[in-house]
Structure 1
Amino acid sequence: MPTLRTVLSIPVSLMLLLAPAASRDTSRDISPAAATDAVLPLLVSDGRAPAAALLALDTGAKGSRLRYSAAGRGIARADHFRAGSITKTLIATVVLQLAAEHRLSLSDTVERHLPGLLRGPGTDGRRITLRALLTHTSGLADFTQATRGAVPLTARQAVRIALTLPPARPGRYSYSSTNYVLLGLVVRQVTGHSYAFEAERRVIAPLGLTGTSFPGSDRSLPSPHGRAYAADGSDVTELDPRVAGAAGELVTTLADLDRFYAALLGGRLLPPRWLREMLDTRAAHGSYGMGLFPVKLPCGTTVWGHNGRISGSYVRSAATADGRRVLTFRVDTDAIADPHLEPALLAAEFCPRTW
């Protein structure tokens, strides 16, 4: 879940790289490529990931350019991997497309589409809107608190587990995968098709994301792929995606994630009004929009995107507000030992310095 919204500190080893230009000789530039490539190996050495890789996309005036970098062994540019909660951005996109088509309203209650499903202590689906689900302000507990992301479930089983847990305060931002499991059910109720089918026809196929899929209950990854390791070093390459469902089932590639976020923020998937809704963080008090969250970097630039954590994989995509520059990085484990490395990597990519 998104917890690193500001940079509180940067490892000492990066200070020279990211130091303000005024304190350096300005005779040469440090490009984003050089800066980011200096940080990436630290995900292996200091973050203790077996391997790390990134793919940066720049669609500026000179045309589209891709830059790939990797550190460690057993990881490759074309690998398929599990993207965890990055799935939420696709689900939110589908829901907002349905809103743009007037097939649902964000002010609709969960009860309207899923009658009787949300009934529990302190929880009433008649008072929870789709907007609250999208922005994580519903107050619903996160079912993964009980399952630890290790138990395959149906969507309704996940909701029932969530209802046994203490709810958060409605109206306050509280990240919960239960919200997006419910949105997956709403998509099916409104369209008659699964969230996977709708995401495929509305997003994946139109953008040509040939490496992206919703595997359902398939435990294997498509080829090519590397290995995936839990934080204790055990091999978890085989995994039942139903541990996450609509909140984190997605399998994808670095190139596909870059292309998706560039298209989304570039206005190719949503009408302008609905893209503005997606980027509106007021409901979550600045913490989250709808399937996206902002990070303000030390240089003042704000990037938008999401992260994803599922057993054996951690992924982060971030893009400028216009979608012209996108960075996706991944490690082949679900934990990075040094939490400062992610914001440092984003700053290196999106805050180029001269010295």
Structure 2
Amino acid sequence: MRTGGGSHFRAGSNTKTYVATVILQLVAEGRIGLGDSVDKWLPGLVQGNGNDGKKITVRHLLQHTSGLYNYTEDLPFGTEADFQAHRFDHHTPAELVGMALKHRPSFEPGETKPDGDPKWEYCNTGYVLLGMIIKRVTGHEWDREVMRRIVRPLGLTHTGFAPGYDVPRPHAQGYQQFTVGGPFVDATRMDYSWASSAGTLTTTAADHNRFFKALIGGRLLRPAQLAEMQRTVPTDMDGYFTGARYGLGLIWLPLPCSKAGYWGHGGDTPGFMTREGVTPDTRRSVAISVPSQLAGDPGLPLDLAARTAVRNVLCGR
């Protein structure tokens, strides 16, 4: 279904780029440091089973180098039966963090590999913690700060954060396939409190495009903080994001037509896939939403098709 630039969709983990931007604005204001420990802001929260908030820094959370377990691995959405039984369950941020803390960390915060690069593992838990830290630092919920600092100043009138059941209208229906070759299930309505500050963004292609152009163009962060955001480490996302490097809430990907590559993030939730990109000079940008998710490895071609479309636009093809 072709929906156009004015149709709303759930943009999933692109939420992380907004959250990271607010954190870096707070850094510029001298209110928080990238080297601050989680325990400084959320004392006693991250502990047990080898997890230690005294060792994990804000930078570790932003860059997925904390080693914390990714709580979304434990959400009961793997089968259609589980999804239907739990799609309207409500979760608090503390509950989501608690899911992660039942597990031992994958590695020590900031631990390096034999080649000297940091170990890296995508972790939604880190961004739930960042949302909680924003509240502790500012006294306001994280989404209120995002709206005040980013959404309203940029005039993103169709962008918001919807932890409830509904996507703003107009919107496409989002369909999820749970078994390879199986039926598609309308996954549009569900309680999105499970995604918290890691993935509740709703937006349109036009707004999403405007946000990334403003960010990379230097309208939201001071030069020092934008440079920090763009300091990347290698990732372990080959297959889905071959050649990707992760900054602070921002992904760099290679382009076949330019060594400069492009910036974006991407987001996946039940029924919705989002891919976007902007060149470093901001002359070319694009945002694509696909209102469906395929099951298993056959879902990879859909992702590849979306990112091929992004690359084609950015290369002027």
Amino acid of the residue matched to residue 170 of structure 2?
P
Match of 2:174 in 1: 228
Tell me which of 154, 163, 166 is aligned to 2:92: 154
Q: What is the CA deviation profile of residues 262-316 of structure 1, one whole-angstrom value per residue up to 9, with x for unaligned ones? A: 0000000000000000000148697210111111122334111011001110001
Post-superposition offset of 1:243: 1.7
Query: TM-score, structure 2 length as denominator?
Result: 0.84
What secondary structure does 1:168 align onto?
coil
Equivalent-residue separation in structure 1 for 2:204 and 2:263 (angstroms): 19
- 1:111 is displaced (CA, Å) by 0.2
Distance, in Å, in 2 between the alignment partners of 1:308 and 1:277 is 22
Is the Cα contact below 8 Å between 2:10 and 2:200 reproduced in 1? yes
> Take 2:149 and 2:130, find their aligned partners in 1: how far apart are those partners?
16
Aligned twin of 1:288: 246
Report the 3-state secondary structure (helix = DSSP H, G, I; strand = E; otherwise coil) of the residue aligned with 1:230.
strand
What is aligned with 2:262? 303
The one-letter code sitting in structure 1 at the alignment partner of 2:40 is R
CA deviation map 1:96-141 (0-9, x unaligned): 0000000100000000000000002121000000000000000001
Answer yes or no: is the 8 Å Cα contact 1:262–1:323 preserved in 2: yes
**Aligned residues between the structures:** 280
Determine if contact 1:80/1:225 at 8 Å carries over to the other structure: yes
* Residue among 229, 233, 245 paired with 1:278: 229
Contact 1:137 1:283 (C-alpha < 8 Å) held by counterparts: no
Matched residues in 2 for 1:288 and 1:98: separation?
21
Residues of 2 paired with 1:152 and 1:324: CA distance? 42
Counterpart for residue 203 of structure 1: 150
SS at match of 1:256: helix
Determine the C-alpha separation between the residues in 2 that align with 1:347 and 1:326.
10
Check if 1:92 corresponds to 2:20: yes
Q: Distance in 2 between matches of 1:276 and 1:283?
A: 17
Residue 48 of structure 1 corresponds to none
CA shift, 1:258, in A, is: 0.4
Paired with 1:347 and 1:90, the residues of 2 have a C-alpha distance of: 23
Moved more, 163-172 or 300-309: 163-172
Residue 315 (structure 1) aligns with: 274
Q: What are the within-5 Å matches in structure 2 for residues 43-54 of structure 1?
A: 51=1
RMSD: 1.8
Do the aligned partners of 2:275 and 2:307 also contact (CA within 8 Å) in 1? no
Q: Is the 8 A contact 1:135 1:283 kept in 2?
A: no
TM-superposed deviation, 1:208: 0.4
Runs in 1 of length 4+ with deviation above 3 angstroms?
148-152, 282-286
Q: 1:304·1:319 contact (CA, 8 Å) conserved in 2?
A: yes
Matched-pair contact (CA < 8 Å) for 1:80–1:211: yes
Alignment of 1:239-278 (within 5 A): 239-278=190-229
Return closer, same or farther for 1:284/1:110 CA change in 2, 3 Å cut-off. Answer: farther
Aligned to 2:116: none
- Give the deviation of 1:226 after TM superposition: 2.0
1:279 & 1:331 partners in 2: Cα distance? 27
**Amino acid aligned to 1:126:** K
What is the alpha-carbon distance in structure 1 between the residues aligned to residue 211 and residue 4 of structure 2?
20
Farther-moved stretch of structure 1 (222-231 vs 91-100)? 222-231
Taking structure 1 as reference, are residues 223 and 346 closer, same or farther at Cα in structure 2, changes over 3 Å only?
Answer: closer
Q: 2:58 maps to which residue? A: 130
* 1:323-342 alignment, distance < 5 Å: 323-335=282-294, 336-338=299-301, 339-342=303-306
Identity of paired residues, percent? 41
Output the TM-score relative to the length of structure 1. Answer: 0.75
Deviations 1:236-275 (A, max 9, x none): 1212111201000111100000000000000000000000
Higher relative contact order (CA 8 A, sep 6+): 1
SS in 2 for 1:315: strand
Asked if structure 2 preserves the Cα contact closer than 8 Å seen for 1:152 and 1:244, the reply is no
Q: Greater Rg, structure 1 or structure 2?
A: 1
Structure 2 unaligned spans of 5+ = 78-86, 111-118, 178-182, 237-243
